[in-house]
A and B are shown apart, each in its own frame.
Chain A
Amino acid sequence: MSTVTEAFALVLQTDVLLAILLASIYGLVVGSLPGLSATMATALLVPVTFYLSPIAAVATIIAASAMAIFSGDIPGALLRIPGTPASAAYTDEAYAMTRKGQPELALGICVWFSALGGIAGTLSLMILAPPLAEMALSFSTYEYFWLAFLGLMCATLVARSSPVKAIASMLLGLLVSCIGIENPAGTPRFTFGVTDLLGGIEPIPALVGVFAVSEVMRAMLNPEPPKLPYRRFGSILKGQLELTRTYVKPQVRGNTVGIIIGVLPGAGADMAAWVSYSMSKRLSKEPEKFGTGHPEGLIEAGASNNASLASGWVPSLLFGIPGDTITAIAIGVLYMKGLNPGPTLFTERASSMYALYIIFIIANILMIPLGIAMIRVASLVLRAPRASVMPIIVLLCAVGAFATGNNLFAVLTVAAFGVIGYVMERNGYPVAAMVLGIVMGTMVEQNLVTSLIKSDGNILPFFSRPVAAVLAAMTIAALLWPIGVRLRSWRPRSAPSA
């Protein structure tokens, strides 16, 4: 018990609490600005943490990243500009709710279920860290290959468009991921002698381009839509309690999937939201409502998103293996502050560990009031004249892309992907599927090639390892599912038209 008391003593310091509060506000604001991502919010905090005490330093990272992941949903819902690759999975859904005149409901779902998911993820971190870590360590490249493949297949489900075009968009994303030297062979591919292309196309500038810039491009052509009638919303939370009761199952499923995927290093929050959203659609009783502003998928994916963020800390804290880009930065801060990741962190510095748990819980609880305040403020954007919002978005796209690596090439990437995204969107190619391809492409290739090197070209281990076999079965089932559904519904539907 004394370690817990000690942990509370560590957290209940003025500097730590102040750090949590300021980092939360910072995370909320940066995450909500179109063009700026949660990863960037975290990376820009690193120099600041240098001047803080260890617990305060880690607290800023935890608080800012949790808030920024949630508030990345805000521009997604209001302007159709997702802040992270994860929120790209359900941006269309949230935006559809805004178009139905329910922006505060959509964002309320995001904040409420994000907070609940974050708390569920933290509990998993507290109670299940050792077994979850064991599970993560049993994942070799064979398992990761199937996982990444399964992730790619979500492409066809999240967009309401022709599955052929969704696959084509996803393949375009895979092609983009081929660029650069970050492939298993270490060979420059499609770099055309350009140094900046050696590192490949980063997902964040591409995401900002295809969503934010192309949105501004559309605004240039379309007349300003009529303002939504001003409606005074009651309690944002009131509706949420009802939704929590109605959609218990999707929520539990979202949390579970989020926790499991989050624990797997390299998969992380990006994939969790995609998998959860498509799972929700597959298993829903009313899948036809998905994409039209239906809360179910939003609940499941939002819960999954933040649950995975917390559980992503398990491999980071236990083995120093980052779960995603955010924990990769967090590990650096942990080391810098002498909280070296490893099992000794759990034994010798148990009070620090408990302090981290407490910070996670505080941050997720704090997310609800701060998030609601943020939603109220951000919703004003919908009433501001478009000619004042869009120019600032362009500016933020430029600065945000530049700030990720202090490299102007990222701004060029944003511009190029703006044009690509615009053309794709106009012709019915879902851009979210391309983002998924860019995010997952390296993972698919890397794990396929390394697996084959390890097995001397033998494909048996892809099916013979127990976890790999399960994932393979899931992948094949997911592949065959739409064909089965189609076959069953073929006759009645084609009869009248024939």
Chain B
Amino acid sequence: MQLSDRYTGLFLIALGGVAAYGGSRLPPVPGQQIGPNVFPMVVGAGLVLCGALIALGIGRGFEDEAEADLAAHSAPEFEQRQAIGWGRGLMALVPPALLLFYVFAVDRLGFLLTAAVIVLTAAFALGARLRLAVPLALGAPVFVHLVFSKLLRVPLPPGLLPAPW
């Protein structure tokens, strides 16, 4: 998802415009000179301005300077960024997708099952061997459940597989 500054700048202009428009439609409140509309409009206008500056490439020099400084001060082996294809790029969406899975599944499946699925999937997505992923998926949910549900009394849903303790 590395885009050129032109695109992110244009996106900010659009977002700022929508925010300012949305803000301007908010009704005034009796007794307040500055209504709920003002702050979103100011922020929206600011975003439009910043977006325009970014799209025009202003301030780019700082970034190059900063990156050069950082590169000069850190260990070389950390500096390896490579081009990533689109298909592999989608892998980045695994963590947020797992969180969505948690939201929609935890009440039905219960915490232990949901957590095991999340840990297993994430471990495989990161290239873990079976030998690492399976014990992790069995152990981590149990441990987290013990700490949060027993010690801290967070009501984690039992679902299909209630904790036997």
Dominant secondary structure of chain B at its interface with chain A: helix
How far apart sit A385 and B129, CA to CA, in the bound complex (Å)? 11
The answer to the question of B161 belonging to the interface, with a C-beta cut-off of 8 Å to chain A, is no
* Cα distance, A211 to B127, chains bound together (Å): 22
Cα–Cα distance between A187 and B27 once the two chains are bound (Å): 8
CA distance A490 to B89 in the complex (A): 41
Give Cα A390 to B95, complex, Å.
9
Beta-carbon contact of A164 and B74 below 8 Å = no
Q: Which of B2, B88, B122, B141 contacts A427 (CB 8 A)?
A: B2
For residue A423, which residue of chain B has the nearest CB? B1
Whether A160 lies near B70 (C-beta < 8 A) is yes
The residue of chain A having its C-beta at the shortest distance from the C-beta of B29 within the complex is: A185
Chain B 105-150 residues near chain A, CB threshold 8 A: 106-107, 115, 118-123, 125-128, 132-133, 136-137, 140-141, 144, 148
The answer to whether A175 and B59 touch (CB under 8 A), given A388-B132, A411-B99, is no
- Interface residues of A: mostly helix, strand, loop or mixed? helix
Once bound together, how far apart are the Cα atoms of A166 and B5, in whole Å? 14
Please tell me which one of the listed residues B1, B69, B80, B156 contacts residue A291 in the complex, with CB atoms under 8 A apart. B69
**A219 adjacent to B126 (CB under 8 Å):** yes
Indicate if the CB atoms of B91 and A391 lie closer than 8 Å: no
Residues of chain B with a CB closer than 8 A to A47's CB: 153
CB distance from A84 to the nearest CB of B (A): 18
Give B25 Cβ to nearest chain A Cβ, in Å: 10
Contact B59 A162 (CB under 8 A): yes
Picked from B2, B40, B63, the residue with its CB within 8 Å of the CB of A426 is B2
Using A190-B22, A385-B132 as known contacts, say yes or no to A225 and B78 having CB atoms under 8 A apart.
yes
Q: List residues of chain A with CB within 8 A of the CB of B44.
A: 175
- Selected from A288, A403, A456, the residue in CB contact (under 8 A) with B154 is A403
Query: Does B98 touch A at the CB level, under 8 Å?
Result: yes
Q: B96–A390 contact, CB under 8 A?
A: no
Check A96/B126 contact, CB under 8 A, given A168-B12, A178-B40.
no
Within 8 A of A (CB), among B3-45: 3, 5, 8, 12, 15-16, 19, 22-23, 26-27, 29, 31-36, 38-40, 43-44
Residues of B within 8 A of A213 (CB): 95-96, 99
Question: Which of A132-140, A394-402, A460-468 faces chain B?
Answer: A394-402
Which of B8, B63, B75, B118 contacts A391, CB < 8 Å?
Answer: B118
7 contacts between A and B (CB under 8 A): A160-B70, A168-B54, A171-B43, A190-B22, A221-B88, A387-B132, A395-B119
